[in-house]
Structure 1
Amino acid sequence: MNVRRSAAALAATAVLCMAAAPAATADTQPPANLPSGLYGKTDPKYDGVFRQSYALLAQDTVGEKPAAKAVDWLTGQACDNGSYAAFREDPSKACDAKTVVDSNSTASAIQALTALGGHDADVKKSVTWLKSVQSQDGGWGYNPGLPSDANSTSLVIGALKAAGENPAEVKSQKGKTPADALVALSMDCDSGKGAFGLADMKTGKLAPNADATAAGVLGGLEQGLVAKAADKTEPTKCAKAADAKAAALVGAGYLSDALAKDGFLKSSMPGAEDQPDYGNTADSVVALSAAGLTDQAEKPLEYLEKNGAAWAKQSGSPAAYSQLIFAAHAAGADPKDFGGTDLVAALNAMGPAPQKGGSADAAKDDKKDDEGSSMSVWWIIGVFFIASVGIGFLISGRKKNQL
């Protein structure tokens, strides 16, 4: 393990579970004055940008238009060079050497801002920064200088794709690509059953990890946090991976096996109790769907529909609701009726209300316009019918139907 890893980075890794699980819990004491544009009421010290990015991306995914001040809060967290820290209490103060910036916050912000549109200059600076801190093996660690991990590398791949970059052309000084790093982080069939590994904090040795595998699957398939189901296929048998896509498909098979019995994953954090890990399970539903294992995603999706909303409510984190929305979207479920819970409404209630005029509202308006047009057509037909039978009404003008 790199001894330069800061205490803040260690805490962030433990809390974020390497960019997959919501950070805060309901009993975390928030600062006295939380920013009005920030989603969530828990302490944002280790997950402010992360959870905000997830919330805005989830809203955009379901057709909501995030509040302007929520978007402004996120863009205001960026350092001048485009990098993001987990949270800056005073964003008016310039970032310096003491500002602990990280790849995960930066990559998640990129994915949110590219989805929302209108932030090309900001995104370009952030992408340039990510490229500048790429590890020699082609991947990324949580903080610059840390060993590459599957979660961070995959999150950056999703950001690069969202920003219109070709990850295969993003190379380190040694000519290594993000795909090269993922292949190196995939494990063999004997010791790791084809999973992506997470390095032990003491020994640095890779151990199979479902969270890292769910991320690695998306990264290997060059998918971001918001993914759609691929054409239905069967699990790939474990074999030595020749490239990142092959490693992703083998990893998806590992997830399929891990979820087959109970329909959920258990916590993989060191020292954690033997209990369901809802965040990792949601991420796995996205990964399985993206890999075309739609049948295998059904059982964990059903588990989340029964239990996920209670977990998200208890966690107090908008990232939790966002992960469930991503899972529902990928698996073709309805996030507004997810086991009887409207995930979108629950997420929206955790921060400033979305703007009117989003695509969801636009769809309603279009429906109204269509209905109005139909009514106008029948009104005209009726008028001409009346005229044709000689009623003799004088039509001086047609009132425009407004809804």
Structure 2
Amino acid sequence: MNIRRSAVVLAAAVLTGAVAAPVAHAADPSPSASLPTALYGTADPTYDGVWRQSLALLAQDTVGVTPAAAAVEWLTGQQCADGSFAPYRADPGKDCDAKTAVDTNNTAAAVQALAALGGHDAVTAKAVGWLKSVQNKDGGWGYVPGGPSDANSTSVVIGALAAVGEQPGETVKGGKSPYDALLGLSIPCGGKGGGAFAYQPDEKGKLAANDDATAAAVVGALGKGLTGAAAKPAGTEPACAQATDPEQAARNGAAHLHTALAKDGHLLSALPGAEDQPDYGNTADAVLALATAGYADEAADAMRWLGAHYQGWAKQSGPAAYAQLILAADAAGFDVRDFDGSGDDLVKRLNATGPAPRAADASATQTTEAAEDKKDAGGDDDFGVGVLWTVGVFLVAGIGIGFLVSGRGKSRS
């Protein structure tokens, strides 16, 4: 959750040719040092402001907390006239233009958050209209308009369509639906990575298993969004079988994730030139995917691992990380108010990174201590390592991409 793809990984993928360089406009100028008080987190929001705000609002709504009105208004104010959203607009009063780096991921995330909160039909309708206008002929979506379809972007848009009551399978372009696009990225059983989803085909058209893309696609293939769903137990062990429909492809993806988690109890991320390290964000996304597919019991060990190890990563990464944990824990049936068994309240930690919610409970009160927590927990780096985020920004800027892809579109395997 899925929090969107690291700049480091994206840059490396583009430089090595693993992913085609997206067709993107230059990013808006860097925001001023004084960030909006209605925004969650204190890290530079240039590349993820709308994404992390959307996740924060979704997580609060999921657990019955009413977000601050100012936080919701900030999100709606980020929309461009054509319905799209950029990751961050420092001056919402200035009209979007050809240089505004709008994208499908931030737009779809905003739709899901605003649809869940209710009362924003005009905003979400315009956003969905824009998303439909940039659908690819294979039925899917790329991160930026005109970019090749990928599993993560297609899945987050499916979630947006479902959130506003539309049938994703009926959103067709070139005779193809988004489910067709996901099926095309599903790796057949029996081979390397069988059951998993690829992020995109490589330059030779081959598919390589990608755990992050798989977690996103399992949820998307089931017609769900960033909050996933607490499904009834599947009643069978996760197993791969020939996929002729999106539901079977989702079950195959769940089987792959179950196997991937079994080794260490969590997923790993591999950076070029670095040793493998725990991938907290992808692990949370995998838990949510398994729970949504009816395998919450199979995800329990990974959720417990997160409960024992998440603190440093989440504090560094900020509101999107806390939101990911809340959504995964809620879908898997864990107590978000006592996450690690020691009384640790994830909701309170999330609330402390932004404006105090309107819910009248103790955890929604932003005390002086909580305000200090916000100062310490403002980052939004999926890896939880600030230096990698900084390096990634320069890598991306150096190759002319001009934006960071959301954590729901990380291209690591």
TM-score by structure 1 length?
Answer: 0.80
- 1:159 correspondence with 2:160: yes
Q: Is the 8 A contact 2:270 2:277 kept in 1?
A: no
- 1:342 correspondence with 2:317: no
Aligned partners of 1:35 and 1:294: how far apart in 2? 38
Distance 1:81 1:272, change over 3 A: farther
Q: Could you tell me how far 1:202 is from its partner in structure 2?
A: 6.5
Q: Is the 8 A contact 2:169 2:177 kept in 1?
A: yes
Q: Could you tell me how far 1:262 is from its partner in structure 2?
A: 1.1
Unaligned stretches of 5+ residues in structure 2: 14-18, 20-29, 365-413
Aligned partners of 2:9 and 2:32: how far apart in 1? 21
Aligned partners of 2:84 and 2:182: how far apart in 1? 23
Q: Match for residue 65 of structure 1?
A: 66
Q: Match for residue 293 of structure 2?
A: 291
Q: Match for residue 179 of structure 1?
A: 179
Q: Is the 8 A contact 1:85 1:106 kept in 2?
A: yes
Q: Could you tell me how far 1:200 is from its partner in structure 2?
A: 6.8
Q: Could you tell me how far 1:14 is from its partner in structure 2?
A: 3.5
Q: Could you tell me how far 1:193 is from its partner in structure 2?
A: 1.5
> Percent sequence identity over matched residues?
58
Q: Match for residue 84 of structure 1?
A: 85
1:319 alignment partner, SS class: helix
Distance 1:355 1:13, change over 3 A: farther
Q: Is the 8 A contact 1:218 1:248 kept in 2?
A: yes
Aligned partners of 2:188 and 2:201: how far apart in 1? 17
Q: Deviations over 1:212-249 (max 9, x none)?
A: 00001001111111123222122342233101111000
Q: Match for residue 373 of structure 1?
A: none
Output the amino acid matched with 1:327: A
What pairs up with 1:37-56 in 2 under 5 angstroms?
37-56=38-57
Q: Match for residue 301 of structure 1?
A: 303
The RMSD of aligned alpha carbons is 2.4
2:247 alignment partner, SS class: helix
Q: Is the 8 A contact 1:235 1:252 kept in 2?
A: no
Output the amino acid matched with 1:184: G
Aligned partners of 1:176 and 1:270: how far apart in 2? 35
Distance 1:273 1:76, change over 3 A: farther
Q: Deviations over 1:314-355 (max 9, x none)?
A: 22x200000000011001111111103211111111111001
Unaligned stretches of 5+ residues in structure 1: 1-8, 19-28, 362-403
Aligned partners of 2:142 and 2:6: how far apart in 1? 12
Q: Could you tell me how far 1:31 is from its partner in structure 2?
A: 4.3
Q: Which has the higher contact order (CA 8 A, sep 6+)?
A: 2
Aligned partners of 1:279 and 1:305: how far apart in 2? 13
TM-score by structure 2 length?
Answer: 0.78
Tell me which structure has the larger Cα radius of gyration.
1
Aligned partners of 1:93 and 1:205: how far apart in 2? 43
Which shows bigger deviation, 265-274 or 280-289? 265-274
Output the amino acid matched with 2:100: T
Which shows bigger deviation, 218-227 or 235-244? 235-244
Distance 1:82 1:269, change over 3 A: farther
What pairs up with 1:246-265 in 2 under 5 angstroms?
246-265=248-267
* Paired residues, number: 340
Aligned partners of 1:277 and 1:146: how far apart in 2? 27
- 1:353 correspondence with 2:356: yes
Tell me which of 278, 283, 287 is aligned to 1:276: 278
Aligned partners of 2:8 and 2:118: how far apart in 1? 28
Aligned partners of 1:202 and 1:88: how far apart in 2? 34
What pairs up with 1:309-320 in 2 under 5 angstroms?
309-315=311-317, 317-320=318-321
Distance 1:10 1:299, change over 3 A: closer
Q: Could you tell me how far 1:58 is from its partner in structure 2?
A: 0.6
Distance 1:272 1:113, change over 3 A: farther
Aligned partners of 2:161 and 2:53: how far apart in 1? 19
